[in-house]
Structure 1
């Protein structure tokens, strides 16, 4: 039997689990906290701009299961908000339990509150992982989807301190880079001024702490735009945030609120006293991070050098996915890289050629382009997402952006990749 060990249970790790299982592997998913999905528990935005194309490409490749869940749990569909079209917003309060239930139903071995702290390696082959309690787990192939956020020391060094975010490092311990433990030097993302990392781009407010009028409008329309007082406009804050697709003028001059079950506020952080001066937010309370009046988590501090197959360079049987695989932003991007890593991990065990998604697909182009940018200093100062910024512009210029599922299916079919993830 083929044993695939996946470290990190965010969207990328979950996607890798699904595809590796469909390829006939025994899948063991290790997550250091007590919940799957990580930042997916406070995200929620799907199918906006080029993510619609990417979502459909994934579905036609055979990675449809997780998108079916996010579509099913979306409380707003085909909605627009500043700079973004045809977005779906899934309910963050329900998503994790649904994904976990699905993974268990297909016999994924989920190990929660199991932090991987080290590896056992012979030459350039990983033999096993070591857990925080000393247990040793052997496997044939390993996928590093541990993310790039925090832990506390980094959020203090490069941010405003621990903001008590959903990753909960003080409770469950810090993430450990598997690639770094294997002796591979990680790559660190930069800000425009050359400093390291980037602030997570949004906070969550408790919806019940909003005024009845704002809450009602938010739940009806999915979005509320509130004008900021002139004295509180800080355009400089936009340059520090990870989500460059939301670093637009409208987001500097207004508070954009989205309904994702909680109230998603599209700014990295906002002092609570100032927030409560805005009409309708006089009783506002942070839901994530709890210290959203002070700061937010710092991301893009740990990317592995990799091939376009998602294999980590220098280690024969280590793959990577999610933020670990590059300066990628978003759930769709995590599912994209995770699905490919899961597929290729099994091909590696079988001794078969690894799949490189062609650049005629938006998925393959993002993976390829993101890899090129990892090796250029200016490239390290950008973030790459189907939904905006430099990569969405590239998608449009290359004619890859489409909202027509039939056109997207034909594109995948012509490349001979229809349902590739479903085939053994």
Structure 2
């Protein structure tokens, strides 16, 4: 049986572990904190815009476990908010337990509160990874989904200081990249102003700290949009967001709230003294990050070049997914790339031919398109998501974005990908 070691327990790592196990691997997942999902613990948005197409492609291809789990744990479905349609919002308060139960049921070994400290390489392959506690993880193939955020020094250098966010670096230590430890040259995302990295695009407010009418609107509609008085607006700061699909004037002129269990404020941060001057927010309190009035976690600091199989260039038995695979932003993007990485990792372990998802599908074109641009001069000034920015526009131009389930099914079948991940 092929031994697979996944490092990083976010959505990408969980998807990679699930698919590796389904493909016949003996899987261990190493996560530096005491919970799975990483930034997915404070995310919550799926199926918006092109992400709907991707979720349905994954189901048609046989990777339905995490998609169905998310769909079954949504507080709201088919809601619209500025520039985003047919969205679903999962409950960030309960989703981690559901995912952990699934991985346990599948027989995936979970190792928490540990990091890959050193990587031992022989030739072009990783032999083992030495962990923080001195133990060793030996495997045939390795998957790096350690993300691109984490480390107090990084948030201080490229942001406004440690935001005390869900990543909890002061408690568990900063993120350690397996790819970097293997000698791979990583690259960083660049903001419009030339600065390095990008801030997480939203923060959470405790719903009960908001006015009753706002709480009721969120519960009933899933979304609440409140105009910001002109004198309180923070203009021209949305370009620092990792989620450029929300960089529109609607998000500068309004407080856009989504009900993901907590109230998700679609802004990287908002000064508390200003926020509490907006009617209904007089007692508002941030849930995550705790310093959401000042800053947020800094992302896009650690990506690698990879091929269309999501194999890291330079190490034969190392794969990647999520933001590690190249400025791909979002839970849907993480699940899609994690699934392919997990599938191909086992294939390499079995010495079988790897799979590239055809470009006739949104997932395949997304992986190809982002990878090509990121290898071009200045390509790291872009971020990629199926829900907006240049990737979503490209998918629409290629006529790959659709919500027609029959059409998605036909496309998957035509490319020979029907049930490939089953």
Q: Does 1:288 align with 2:288?
A: yes
Q: Per-residue displacement from partner, 1:95-137 (whole Å, max 9, x unpaired)?
A: 0000000110010101111111111111211000111011111
Alignment of 1:342-421 (within 5 A): 342-421=342-421
Q: Does 1:22 align with 2:11?
A: no
Q: Residues of 2 paired with 1:363 and 1:141: CA distance? A: 23
State how 1:108-119 maps to structure 2 within 5 Å: 108-119=108-119
1:196-238 per-position Cα deviation (integer Å, ceiling 9, x unaligned): 1001000000011011111011111111111112123233211
* 1:378 positional shift: 3.4
Offset, 1:5: 0.2
Question: 2:325 maps to which residue?
Answer: 325
Equivalent positions of 1:119-138 (< 5 A) are 119-138=119-138
- Aligned mates of 1:261, 1:195 — CA distance in 2: 33
Alignment of 1:15-414 (within 5 A): 15-414=15-414
Secondary structure in 2 matching 1:204: strand
Counterpart-to-counterpart distance in 2, 1:103 and 1:136: 22
Return the alpha-carbon distance in structure 1 between the equivalents of residues 35 and 88 of structure 2. Answer: 23
CA distance in 1, matches of 2:207, 2:118: 41
Partner Cα distance (1:127, 1:27) in 2: 16
Q: Distance in 2 between matches of 1:106 and 1:143?
A: 18
Cα separation, 2, equivalents of 1:164 and 1:373? 33
SS at match of 2:370: helix
Tell me, in whole angstroms, the C-alpha distance in 2 between the residues paired with 1:173 and 1:60. Answer: 39
Alpha-carbon deviation of 1:377? Answer: 3.9
Give the secondary structure class of the aligned counterpart of 1:143.
Answer: strand
Give the Cα–Cα distance (whole angstroms) in 2 for the partners of residues 111 and 20 of structure 1.
16
SS at structure 1 position matched to 2:421:
helix
Deviates more, 1:350-359 or 1:234-243: 234-243
Q: Once the two structures are superposed, what CA deviation does each residue of 1:70-101 show, in whole Å capped at 9, x if it has no partner? A: 10011100010111100000000010000000
| Distance in 2 (alpha carbons) for counterparts of 1:190 and 1:74 | 33
Q: Which moved more, 1:378-387 or 1:302-311?
A: 378-387
Aligned alpha-carbon RMSD (Å): 0.8
Deviations 1:20-39 (A, max 9, x none): 10111100000000000000
Query: Using the alignment, how far apart are the partners of 1:137 and 1:391 within structure 2?
Result: 37
Residue 140 of structure 1: CA displacement?
0.4
Distance 1:236 1:152 in 2: 25
In 1, Cα distance between the equivalents of 2:246 and 2:352?
A: 41
What secondary structure is seen at the aligned counterpart in 1 of 2:287? strand
Runs of 4+ in 1 over 4 A off after TM superposition: none
Q: Output the CA distance in 1 between the equivalents of 2:94 and 2:314.
A: 39
Give the C-alpha shift of residue 59 in structure 1.
0.8
Cα displacement (A) at 1:161:
0.5
Rounded Cα–Cα distance in structure 1 between residues aligned with 2:194 and 2:34? 35
Structure 1: distance between partners of 2:379 and 2:258: 30
Query: Partners of 1:172 and 1:394 in 2: how far apart?
Result: 39
Compute the displacement of 1:376 (Å): 2.5
Tell me how far 1:178 sits from its aligned partner: 0.8
Looking at structure 1, the residues matched to 258 and 299 of structure 2 have their Cα atoms a distance apart, in angstroms, of 22
